[in-house]
Amino acid sequence: MKRLSSLSIFLPAYNDAGTIAELVLEAEQTARSLTDEFELIVVNDGSEDDTAAVLANLKTRVPRLRVITHPVNRGYGGALRSGFTAARGDWIFYTDGDGQYDPAELTLLVDALRPGLDLVNGYKRHRHDPWIRVVLGALYNSGVRWLFGLRLRDVDCDFRLIRRATLLEIELESDSGAICVELIRGLQDRGARFAEVAVSHYRRRQGHSQFFNGRRLFDTARQVVRLWWRLAVGSTGARRQHDLG
């Protein structure tokens, strides 16, 4: 098995009291198999259940665990930006705190690393969600790949291993799920090299998706439009002005 120089694993969590402890313990075990230098971070994004209490107890058992708490929910993008800012490892891995991905499969991403790669991204072998989410997810993925010229097959698969030095070259602004599009487009624009690996996707064990509700879908759609205007239309206008100058 390949080894990493250092690794940060972070999990964004919102009302994930029933799954977060198991994921942290599995992430810790996986990290120990990959490097001696690792840290574990959970971003508790304003959870209203017992997530905070579970994490407080977990910290007594997992010395390398750091918890970042948002007093109010900042959205998925806000949670990811906090995790990226806090991470100190040469490589950053993140996945969601709801248990739909298996942190142990991080080893699959590490095995796919080659010299010069900046991102190894998972893609779902089979999506285990209600049919409406599968359909909407496929439409969203196809739409943003076309709209932004993205080369990844599964932009919405939140199972990623990223070189931190490359991540520091881009600035992320989104608070919603649109951050995934902003992240991939930003890395792509800077010439980052990608690889993709098939990973497992599981049914949600508790609760409901925080993304698939009216307000969050609207917020994401609005931020996707703003991103498109800034990254596609804005950059085209800037290039045209530069050429005329």
Helix (H) or strand (E) holding 205: none
pLDDT of residue 213: 55
Determine contact, residues 206/18, Cβ cutoff 8 Å. yes
Q: How far apart are the first and last CA of the chain?
A: 53
Look at phi and psi of residue 6 and say left if phi exceeds 0, alpha if psi is from -120 to 50, else beta. beta
Residue-level pLDDT at 5: 97
Helices 179-189 and 75-86, interaxial angle, to 10°?
A: 50
Instruction: Tell how many helices (H) and how many strands (E) occur in the chain.
Output: 9, 7
Question: Cα 169 vs. chain centroid, distance in angstroms?
Answer: 17
Query: Which neighbouring-strand residues pair with 69?
Result: 44
The reported pTM is 0.88
Q: Which of 96, 70, 120, 73 is nearest to 13 (CA)?
A: 96
- Say what the pLDDT of residue 209 is: 55
DSSP string covering the chain: ----S-EEEEEEESS-TTTHHHHHHHHHHHHHHH-SSEEEEEEEES-SSSHHHHHHHHHTT-TTEEEEEESS--HHHHHHHHHHHH--SSEEEEE-TTSSS-GGGHHHHHHT--TT--EEEEEESS--S-HHHHHHHHHHHHHHHHHHT---S-TT--EEEEEHHHHTTS-----STTHHHHHHHHHHHTT--EEEEEE------SS--SSSSHHHHHHHHHHHHHHIIIIIIHHHHHHHHHHH-
Asked whether 41 and 49 are in contact (CB, 8 A), the reply is no
What is the 8-class DSSP label of residue 125? S
Tens of pLDDT along the chain (245 residues) come to 789 999 999 999 999 999 999 999 999 999 999 999 999 999 999 999 999 999 999 999 999 999 999 999 999 999 999 999 999 999 999 999 999 999 999 999 999 999 999 999 999 998 877 878 888 888 888 988 998 999 999 998 999 999 999 999 999 998 888 899 999 999 999 999 999 999 999 987 765 555 555 566 667 777 777 877 877 665 544 444 334 34
CB 108 within 8 Å of CB 199: yes
- Predicted local confidence at residue 244, as pLDDT: 39
Q: Which domains, ranges and CATH numbers included, belong to the chain?
A: 7-235 (3.90.550.10)
